[in-house]
Structure 1
């Protein structure tokens, strides 16, 4: 197998830690269309990020996209009928990022710790913590002695590096939102764009303190720098990316960018004031989210290791090459390549020579990664994806980034000030989208609603039949979510990346976990070195004669 790993060392001090062909091409500091110089106060202060360099967020690997046959991996398993799993279709997946491993128990405990310390002393938000708790009762079986897992699996250090289970699709999606804010806050504070964690808790009037620095820490005296429990601008509200970008959250750090806009008031020394980081600055990461089904299947197959000059040399059944489930290498010959159930009642093999070394789950770093550098894309635990389940999903779908489950929503704003309303958790209040196009100013002020707009096409072309009592005659609905990958509790047929099953988004099991993904912005090519490239000549900057 041609092993191609896209390992990336990402500095916690900014998104621009890695170079990429997706960088800014605005090398000129002068507008090609108007002749005005960028980043100059005297020319109006329009700012353009120069030399932007993208990179993945913490825990993520770069997945270079491309076309593939979705469901096509389901054709070569001897003796198994895979036709019911998928309708094969050629699709294209844009480049994106995906977690190297499944989210572990330690990762989830960090999440719970943040909730407990950030909202300490606020009993009205106890529901927040309780709602985030995994359901450890998923381990209970009427005819099994699994009580040790009920009591120990989530919190005992013996299972710290094991994948979190008992989490619903909704809980996984909430974790993605939380993770986005914590990562972005860390970057802004470590780079000094906001008050650093080290300076939090210092008196605002102290030496070197900024005028509007945060002065409180939700975890009280002795809070550590990486707890993420800092309040925003002394308000006690946790940092939120959307509110920060809208100027409603966060504070101005010592190294915050200068506000070069013409209307900004200068300081007594004639220095431009500082401002919040903007999206245009390229410092904020895109949101963490669950991968789409197409992204997950594409990443699991790892066909990049089988591709040469746009030709796929060898098809795959599993994330590794070959038809078997054991290693062909001399040093590991015969060893099982994933954590799954070999047969009824055989969860780990014979004592003294355990085939997959795990009766239940295993460490998220178990076995060998696929050609994208992703661990356990087959076995260990099944993984939630974003999509709503339909059996005929791929008969009616887009060819680019296919996905089923869009529910469009907008942040609820004050029509006059554009301020975003926030909930008790410091996050924006979302409302269903009311129109598919930009509203006129008059419509916006009158809270105009286009009642004919249909934001959700999840049930598009899907027949639904009602029973006499009004209940739907179907096992799936708009809250049925897809999960993929196979698990410690599944046999080999479910390890195929094309295999797909579903469960209600508010249900959980002992064999479903998840990993996060992130959208990649800019050019889709991840590594351009050594590849033929067209040479582009930049336009000459305009000069007034």
Structure 2
């Protein structure tokens, strides 16, 4: 019997050796094959070096640092500023998630599940124990009830559509959540209209301060994980607050939500809200990647100041504007961007406020409105002397202690000086303006081989 057992073991070993794909060679751990895709709505900015900063006199006396030759790695950048329509997709996702969470919590408190109908259909997915995997059962039994609310980590049931038509609410509990939790009160409504209470639209996420963790001499991983929760609805009142003694109510009332402005750049978004959008866009894409069994993509983020300037130049060395030359009027007599060309005459360039995100001609990297329309948030903190100490490779003066964040490109309300690719400006990270928007970037990780 012992001899038979040894023979069996030897036979199995022989089979495993003969079936080895490596043949005993060092071939590396075999992971999933990476099939990179060009991100939707983005353009590839090839790596390269350029002279960052102003080579001419600092006429505005804003203390720009001396010029510096730097190199940036390849990256993708949105070909336009993030539009109202694109940001509304973020808002709608948050509204959907907040509503489903409130419905699921009430269903849980009432002890209702999918079989009970009504609000029970919106119960957490783990309410239907017949569908739980071994992993889900373990997590429910061992980690449920932990956290601030006791509902962290419990998955929402997104198979059932939300009902927004008041005449079709399924039961009184569903009605309670919608009427009392999601909409503004009767006292705050007027003209018979009750809108969603946008103060409830909060997005919560975590991120890791890699820079601090890498330089820390001690501390555990959890010490560098930061948690953010903020209201993500744009501040539409910026159209009133940014201008004294000026009638801009139509922009306040219609600009963000009306379909007439869907393709216009979103404004009234702070730096922190722009960061939250980047986090959501990454999650939204990777949730889809996961559902299709594909590898995660790297994160979307705001561009560094150096990346923004490099992309704005469009490969033109020493150009004053994204289109190159020192003039803002073309040889046909047309303005090349949306800005304030003359004192008090905002409409001389055929635009009063913002214009569509794909208005005017793109630069040589096929990026639209890198000058004018709206100024754009970058990831970098503003320091007038930063060019003197930042690295020459992928420079970025990022500091969580510095609330002043660099904005670039100038806007519809600015004079031509602020449209120049090398002009620096800043705004505080918690501020929102009617003339500041943003676009996102993603690090380049290769392209799919089109020859195969």
The verdict on a shared fold, with TM-score over 0.5 as the criterion, is yes
Q: CA deviation at 1:366?
A: 0.5
Partners of 1:406 and 1:519 in 2: how far apart?
20
Map Cα deviations across residues 52-71 of structure 1 (whole Å, 9 max, x no partner): 44333222110001110000
Q: Look up the match of 2:36.
A: 54
CA distance in 2, matches of 1:360, 1:174: 26
1:108 CA displacement:
1.1
1:367 corresponds to: 360
Residue in structure 2 matched with residue 504 of structure 1 by the alignment: 428
Matched, 1:97 2:76: yes
Superposed CA offset, 1:272-311 (max 9, x none): xxxxx5xxxxx321100000000000000011xx4xxxxx
Q: Which has the larger radius of gyration?
A: 2
Counterparts of 1:446-465 in structure 2, within 5 Å, are none
Deviation at 1:509, TM superposition (A): 0.7
Specify the alignment match of 2:266 in structure 1.
Answer: 164
The CA deviation at 1:118 is 2.0
Q: Counterpart in 1 of 2:238?
A: 138
- Map Cα deviations across residues 378-437 of structure 1 (whole Å, 9 max, x no partner): 000000000111110101110100001155xxxxxxxxxxxxxxxxxxxxxxxxxxxxxx
- Give the whole-Å Cα distance in 1 for the aligned partners of 2:398 and 2:335: 36
CA contact (8 A) 1:481 1:505 kept: yes
Please state if 1:321 is matched with 2:324.
yes
The alignment of Structure 1 onto Structure 2 pairs a total of residues equal to 309
Q: 1:84 to 1:30 in 2, by over 3 A?
A: farther
**Partners of 2:449 and 2:415 in 1: CA distance:** 37
Tell whether the 8 Å contact from 1:68 to 1:91 is kept in structure 2 after alignment.
yes
Give me the CA root mean square deviation: 2.7
What is the aligned partner in structure 2 of residue 484 from structure 1?
408
Contact 1:75–1:82 under 8 Å retained in 2: no
Unaligned runs of 5+ in 1: 1-28, 39-45, 194-276, 278-282, 307-311, 350-355, 408-476, 530-545
Separation (CA, whole Å) in 2 of partners of 1:76 and 1:375: 27
Matches within 5 A, 1:37-186: 46-50=29-33, 52-72=34-54, 74-75=55-56, 80=59, 84-123=63-102, 126=200, 128=202, 131-140=231-240, 141-186=243-288
Distance 1:316 1:126 in 2: 46
The aligned residue for residue 137 of structure 2 is: none
Cα distance in structure 2, aligned partners of 1:60 and 1:516: 9
Give SS of 2:286's match: helix
Shift of 1:36: 5.7
Partner of 2:334: 335
Aligned to 1:433: none
CA contact (8 A) 1:85 1:500 kept: yes
Contact between 1:97 and 1:518, CA under 8 Å: does it hold in 2? yes
CA contact (8 A) 2:201 2:233 kept: no
The CA distance in 2 between the partners of 1:370 and 1:175, in whole Å, is 25
3-state SS of paired residue (1:181): helix
Greater helix proportion: 2
Deviation, 1:327, is 1.7
C-alpha deviations, 1:15-47, integer Å up to 9, x for none? xxxxxxxxxxxxxx9769x51667xxxxxxx42
Change (3 A) 1:527 1:35: closer
Q: Secondary structure at the match of 2:71?
A: strand
DSSP-derived class of the 2:280 partner: helix
Deviation at 1:101, TM superposition (A): 0.5
Name the SS for the 1:75 alignment partner: coil
Partner of 2:308: 296
The yes-or-no answer on 1:35 pairing with 2:2 is no
Structure 2 SS opposite 1:48: coil
User: Are 2:375 and 2:411, in contact at CA under 8 Å, matched by a contact in 1?
Assistant: yes
Gaps of 5+ in 2: 1-19, 103-180, 182-198, 204-229
Q: 1:35 to 1:76 in 2, by over 3 A?
A: same
Shift of 1:120: 1.0
Aligned match of 2:168: none
1:527–1:301 CA distance, 2 compared to 1 (3 A): farther
Whole-Å Cα distance in 1 between the matches of residues 60 and 94 of structure 2? 46
| SS of equivalent residue, structure 1 residue 348 | helix
- CA gap of 1:522–1:160, structure 2 versus 1, over 3 A, is closer
Question: Structure 1 residues 31 and 512, CA, compared in 2 at 3 Å: closer, same or farther?
Answer: farther
Query: 1:98 is paired with a residue of what secondary structure?
Result: strand
TM-score normalised by length of structure 2: 0.63
2:359 match: secondary structure: coil
Structure 1's 83 and 144: CA in aligned 2 closer, same or farther, altered over 3 A?
closer
C-alpha distance in structure 2 between counterparts of 1:478 and 1:36, whole Å: 48
